[in-house]
A and B are shown apart, each in its own frame.
Chain A
Amino acid sequence: MIHSMDVSELKITAELANLDLTGEDLASLGNEVEKILDYFSSMMEADTAGLAAGKAGSAANRLRPDVRTPGDADALLENAPELEGRFIVIPNVL
């Protein structure tokens, strides 16, 4: 059984994800995260001995030859909210 996440751990996780959470956020999110953890706990109880599940299946390596297959870079740039020439612009995060 996984122990439910305590608030301090939730705060660290939020910080790692650059999320600014208020006390209220933490309380409501705490419940939701607990539900997720409970769900994983019940999955972990399933008997998987002898099953290939959870291991990447094929015995052979999955490799790609070293060949250039250029895509449509311009189409991707169109999704950027702001451009400066071909650079994608974001607020300074130094």
Chain B
Amino acid sequence: MYQSFIGLEIHIQLLTESKVFCGCTNRFGDEPNTNVCPVCMGYPGVLPALNEEAIRLSYIVARTLNCELSPRAIFERKNYFYPDMPKNYQISQFSSPLGRNGWIDIEYAGKPRRVRIHEIHLEEDAGKMIHAGDMSLLDYNRAGTPLLEIVTEPDMEAGEEAEILLQNFRRTIRYLGVCDGNMEEGSMRCDANVSINLEGQGLGRKVEIKNLNSSRFVKMALNYEITRQKELFGKGGKIVQETRLWNENRDVTEPMRTKESAHDYRYFPEPDLPPFIPGAEFLAKVDKGLVELPEARKARFVKEYGLSAAAADFLVAEKATADFYEQTVKLGAAPAAAAAWLQFDVRKILNRDGKELADCPLTAGRLAQLLSLLADGRIHGKIAKQVLEAVFAEDKDPGQLIKEKGWQSMSDMSQLAALVDQALAANAAAVDAVKAGDRKPLGFLVGQIMKQTGGMAEPRLVQELLKQKIK
């Protein structure tokens, strides 16, 4: 009988070399206050200048999220007095943000859902503060780094749905290469708002939740908050419009004390920055940054390569994996085999060694070579796995490793036939059992020959020969 309404405000740090309005380095983890200059430290008399890559990446996100692009994006000063911003205002956007009225399509509870985007705007991030006893420590390395804010409409209804949206969004920005989406390090941050009301009565009184530094916490905090509000409502209580903090140690939301007047930001146009007008040339550069998104790529993988939805899902999760896969196939590997090897054998080694596909001795060329050796019967399955391990250990091509180690399969039929004859003669009891209809000793006989050849005999051929000879 209750309806819940969830909206998200997502902030992402853009992957630029320099800050958004000055030439300081934009990098996480540097020594405190090394990447600062008079512009981002708010010295008088300085002039901000817009970073063209920051604005390009912003429009790429706006286009990807189906937004109407502002023909005249205006920067405004958001005034507030807090030491994380040395200027006493943040350059942001208010009256004419760069993107509006977009959407993200997700799948929730087995159904397609469209979550509308209210707006997207570019702003500068604030510095970091560490509160230590009676003093606060300030680090302005982050002050002035480009931050893109994406505001959704309150179109979601459960914590799980918000979690899916966030995961989907994260994958998208990583595909676009605009942000690494690391919620723990804070390169992607999320605030949520939620209200409940009786069915059909529209939005309720909005509660904002902050301090959500993983998509799981977003889900947990929202579900906690919906339950809290329903109980309060049910008891005839009043929901207060407020900001609450997620307490990750106690798994609850708690009210945050704020001064109401603090929300009067007195926005006005930034006199030091002209409005940004995206021209045809700029928009062409934006279009070059658009990529095939994970959902579309997944659908194509299923259709074009005949993969299962699960295999395609795995491959498209990271763009690097999907690119690697397609390159392997392009080099001649069978689509199903390449998918299976990446999904199981290769992933197992990467996980074990804590390595990334993009940064390991296995290349698409080497995987394609390995799979072609396997498909041609020059090595058999068990050896192929050994070769894969050797590629990782020795950083050499599969073909070279097989030669060096003498791992070519023994597939010479007359040689194998002689070995089979020997085995049959030495194991008369097993042969009799097979003749009597028991198939189990066949495996034993294959094992004997494999042992004798140090595992090099092609097991498929051995089995065939055995069946021919025991008749």
B binding-site residues for A, Cβ under 8 Å: 16-18, 23-25, 31-38, 41, 49-55, 79-83, 130-140, 259, 261-262, 264, 266, 271, 273-277, 279, 282
Contacts and interface: CB of A to CB of B under 8 A. Distances in A.
Given A76-B38, A86-B31, A69 B137 contact: no
A51 interface: no
Main secondary structure of the interface of B (DSSP, over half): loop
A62 B75 CA distance: 13
A87 B32 contact: yes
Contacts of B135: 84, 89-92
A46 interface: no
Interface of A: 12, 15-18, 56-59, 61-71, 73, 76-77, 84-94
B33 A70 contact: no
B33 A88 contact: yes
Nearest to B43: A76
Nearest to B275: A56
A16 B54 CA distance: 31
Main secondary structure of the interface of A (DSSP, over half): loop
Contact of A73 (B36, B80, B136, B279): B36
B424 to A, nearest CB: 74
28 contacts: A12-B261, A16-B266, A56-B275, A57-B274, A61-B277, A61-B279, A62-B274, A63-B51, A64-B23, A64-B50, A66-B17, A66-B53, A70-B23, A70-B24, A70-B35, A71-B36, A71-B38, A73-B33, A76-B37, A84-B135, A84-B137, A86-B139, A88-B137, A89-B137, A89-B138, A91-B134, A93-B82, A93-B136
Nearest to A88: B138
B37 A92 contact: no
**Nearest 4 CB-CB pairs, A to B?**
A69-B23, A66-B53, A56-B274, A71-B37
A68 B18 contact: yes
A66 B275 CA distance: 19
A16 B79 contact: yes
B49 A68 contact: no
B83 A61 contact: no
Nearest to A69: B23
Contacts of B53: 65-66
Contact of A68 (B24, B36, B136, B266): B24
B136 A94 contact: yes
A86 B32 contact: yes
Contacts of A64: 23, 49-52
A25 B193 CA distance: 40
A35 B221 CA distance: 50
Contacts of B38: 71, 76
A62 B55 CA distance: 12
A15 B41 CA distance: 23
Contacts of A57: 274
Given A62-B50, A86-B33, A90-B135, A68 B23 contact: yes
Given A56-B275, A61-B50, A73-B33, A66 B16 contact: yes
B273 to A, nearest CB: 8
